[in-house]
Amino acid sequence: MWSTYNYPPCFDTAVNPLHSFHPRLINPDATSIMFARAGNENRKWKSLSNKFIGISKQLITYQASPKRRHKTVPGAFSLHAGKDIRSFTNRDTELIDFLEDNRVLKSFNVQSKKEQVTRAFMLTDEMKLALENFFEELQIKDSSIIRPKHTEGGIQELSSVGKIRHTSIQLPRWVCVNVDSIQDGLNDCDTEDLPLLQLTYGTAKSFDGFLRQDYVESPFGRLYGRRTYESLQLMPKRLLKYVIPGTYSYDIKASALTLMAQIAKLHNPSIQTNAINEYAENRKTIRQSIADKLGIDYELVKQSFTALGFGARRISHSWKKNGVIKTGAIRQILGDEELTMEFLFHPLVIEITDEMDSCAEVMLNSHPLDLSSIKGRNRKIAYIYQNEEVRILQSMVSASLESGCSIRSLKHDALILNRKIPSGLLEDKVNEDTGYDIKLDLEVIGHKS
């Protein structure tokens, strides 16, 4: 069942499965699905009950995903009725009743920005205790361990919209991880990261010390990972030191801004990008200077520059669209209209955004890609940028494999390799293949000293 509903196999294959600690996951209260609306018995209630148990176990993993954390209810997470619940079943009301009746999840009514009531979800105390006890006692017999097929590729041949993918590279699906180090991390990581690292630990033990690295190509060309508790691309960077210590991350410096400038320069070599170049060379000093001036954390400034690079709207106010209150990405990051204004009107930020606008115009007017089917100026720019980004990553992958390295993870603007190679080797290969003059930051992933 774990392969159908995408939850860690250890929930079922452990010596003491998860249902040993939460019996409702094997003998559920099925009252909510036993009878049809007319009051007649639902003859398929037993198979539906088994399906709902599988869905329940997958939804348990959602509470560990940082991206699903609820913005206003501490400790809760969000589920989208269409994208999440109805992707499993159209019996969404019965499923929610089933989850609550069996003390898996509890829900809360929340006032949304649409001035409508929505729901936030949280594991029940019984489910939290069951998971805590399950992972404390986790053991898997050798006969229950699932052995990877090392010939499998990780990049799906069909894109997210069902078309043959454009990228030509292929990566191994199975990546070896350090199970002992992950186990040590359970006692060392931040409390908020523990649920995710527990899932990673259980999954790695289930797969004989490996994790699946599945990628699917988006319509714009990027490769996106699947399952936060397995994907090294999706996993928070702060957890990688437990999962793949002793590996090497090669990250393109200020990738969003510098690549945009270089795409424009290929078509118009005379375009001026002095402010972007200054930021790329001295970004840490510049970020800290702005953070000190605004009296905010360095990371918030870093996130704001990243948002700028990916086309965030340069506004500080909120607005209403179709009855929904909207807020720009930078305002969301900084959380305050006045701070957002100070950031956007910083002299260097103004220079950078002016240069970005000039680069964007060159990209839109000169790039050979057919953009006729893409709606909106920012989406067209993103399409050009992401296609070029993928070309760079394919070149980096090729150079890494030619050097005898194995690739642990592919990010949008970085590679993680099993061993160290000269950054210049990758930079030269990219320049030869694409004409772009990128610079790489090298970081060793490992335990804190």
Contact 206, 8 (CB under 8 A): yes
Do 15 and 52 share a domain, yes or no? yes
Specify the number of domains making up the chain: 2
Six-digit token string for 109: 């009514």
DSSP 88: H
pLDDT per residue over 14-42, tens digit each? 999 999 999 999 988 887 776 655 555 56
pLDDT at 291: 94
What is the mean pLDDT of the segment spanning 312-326?
Answer: 59
pLDDT, tens only, 245-302: 999 999 998 788 899 999 999 899 999 999 999 998 899 999 999 999 999 999 999 9
Backbone angles phi, psi at 354, to 5 degrees: -65, -45
Percent of the chain as helix, strand, coil, to the nearest 5: 50, 15, 35
Query: Is residue 448's pLDDT more than 50?
Result: no
Pair 91, 120 in one domain: yes
Model pLDDT, residue 317 = 61
| pTM given for the model | 0.88
| Cα 248 to Cα 444: distance, rounded to the nearest angstrom | 5
Q: Tell me: do 109 and 14 sit in the same domain.
A: yes
36 and 106 in a single domain? The answer is yes
Segment 305-328 shows an average pLDDT of 67
Number of CB atoms found within 10 A of residue 137's CB? 12
Same-domain check for residues 29 and 123: yes
- Which of 191, 215, 243 delimits the end of a domain? 243
In a domain, 383, yes or no: no
Residue 433 resides in a domain: no
Type of residue numbered 92: D
What is the chain's mean pLDDT, rounded? Answer: 88
pLDDT at 321: 55
* Same-domain check for residues 238 and 121: no
**E strand or H helix that includes residue 294:** helix 274-294
Pairing of strands 174-176, 210-212: antiparallel
Kindly state whether residue 320 falls inside one of the protein's structural domains. no
**In this structure, are 89 and 203 located in the same domain?**
no
- Using the 3D structure, point to which of 134, 161, 192 is the last residue of a domain: 134
Per-residue pLDDT at 366 exceeds 90: no
3-state SS, residue 313: coil
User: Are the C-beta atoms of 339 and 303 separated by less than 8 Å?
Assistant: no
The answer, yes or no, to whether residue 322 has pLDDT greater than 60, is: no
Does 212 reside within a domain? yes
Report the amino acid identity of residue 391.
Answer: R
Judged by average pLDDT, the poorest of 288-292, 367-371, 372-376, 431-435 is: 367-371
Single residue among 243, 270, 292 that ends a domain in this structure:
243
- Residue 348 lies inside a defined structural domain of this protein: no
Q: Give the N- to C-terminal CA distance of the chain in Å, as an integer.
A: 41
Mean pLDDT of 191-214: 96
Task: List alpha helices for 207-273, DSSP H.
Answer: 240-243, 255-267
- Give the burial class of 20: count Cβ atoms within 10 A of its Cβ; 0-12 exposed, 13-18 middle, 19 or more buried: middle
Establish if 267 belongs to a structural domain.
Answer: no
Does the residue 350 lie in any domain? no
Place of tokens 């800290």: 288
Say yes or no: 96 and 214 in one domain: no
Answer yes or no: do 22 and 109 share one domain: yes
Same-domain status, 164 and 125 = no
Looking at the domain assignment, is residue 443 inside a domain? no
pLDDT at 115: 46
Question: What is the extent of the structural domain holding 159?
Answer: 145-243
**Closest Cα to residue 222, out of 427, 400, 429, 385?**
385
Name which residue leads in pLDDT, 348 or 312. 348
Identify whether residues 64 and 177 lie together within a single domain.
Answer: no
Same domain, 51 and 161: no
CA distance 221 to 383: 8
